[in-house]
């Protein structure tokens, strides 16, 4: 006969104390994308955003070029923002400077208005999917009066854009 040994085995509990697992997730709205096109409706990037002016050989003249602004987005609720512009005159040297003027047009766009000083667009970015929605047009103008005398050469200047989101 084989001896039997009795071993007390304790069963593992079949229930566990409740555990709480926290889950975190984020859905980010698609950023507002602002697109700039030239007069030929070609999209400009920072690498090719150059405006080149050819000045006529006349006593008096005015030249201009326009840029068109659009936005695309997919927002859960509308947002407001300001697109501001700062311009420098075109300079050859300290004695030769061509004055630049900016004109902003909202192109009858209900969600854009032009700041009274004329250097910013105030834009309401609509909720939902928006694709290539017009913001407005910026026109850069340079004028020479008959009494103005400028030296020949290449004049350079710049203007900058800044977007600020409003709450």
| Domain boundary assignment for the chain | 60-166
Q: Is 119 exposed, middle or buried (0-12, 13-18, 19+ CB in 10 A)?
A: middle
Taking the model in full, what pTM does it have? 0.77
- Give all strands (DSSP E) within the chain, no chain letters: 30-37, 43-44, 61-75, 79-87, 90-93, 96-98, 100-105, 112-114, 120-125, 128-144, 159-166
Distance CA 135, CA 113 (A): 9
Residues of the chain with pLDDT > 90, as a percent, come to: 43
Distance CA 18, CA 116 (A): 63
pLDDT tens-digit map of 109-142: 889 999 888 899 999 999 999 999 999 999 999 9
Which fold would CATH assign to domain 60-166?
Immunoglobulin-like (2.60.40)
pLDDT at 10 > cutoff 70: no
Contact 136, 105 (CB under 8 A): yes
Distance CA 117, CA 46 (A): 26
Choose among 55, 118, 57: nearest CA to 84: 118
Contacts of 21 (CB under 8 A, 6+ apart): none
Residue 46's pLDDT is what?
A: 72
pLDDT tens-digit map of 52-80: 888 888 899 999 999 999 999 988 889 99
Residue 4's pLDDT is what?
A: 54
Strand partners, 127: none
pLDDT at 40 > cutoff 80: yes
């Amino acid at each position: 006969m084989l001896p039997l040994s009795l071993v007390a085995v304790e069963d593992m509990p079949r229930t566990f104390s409740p555990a709480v697992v926290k889950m975190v997730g984020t859905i980010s709205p698609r950023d507002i994308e602002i697109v700039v096109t030239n007069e030929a409706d070609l999209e400009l990037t920072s690498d090719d955003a150059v405006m080149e002016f050819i000045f006529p050989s006349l006593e008096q003249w005015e030249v201009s070029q326009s840029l068109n602004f659009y936005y695309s987005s997919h927002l859960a609720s509308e947002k407001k923002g300001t697109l501001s512009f700062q311009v420098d005159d075109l300079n050859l040297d300290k004695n030769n400077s061509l004055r630049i003027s900016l004109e902003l047009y909202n192109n009858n766009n209900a969600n854009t208005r032009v700041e009274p000083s004329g250097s910013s667009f105030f834009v309401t970015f609509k909720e939902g999917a928006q694709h290539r929605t017009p913001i407005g047009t910026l026109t850069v103008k340079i004028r020479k009066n008959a009494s103005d005398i400028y030296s020949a050469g290449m004049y350079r200047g710049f203007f900058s854009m800044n977007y600020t989101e409003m709450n």
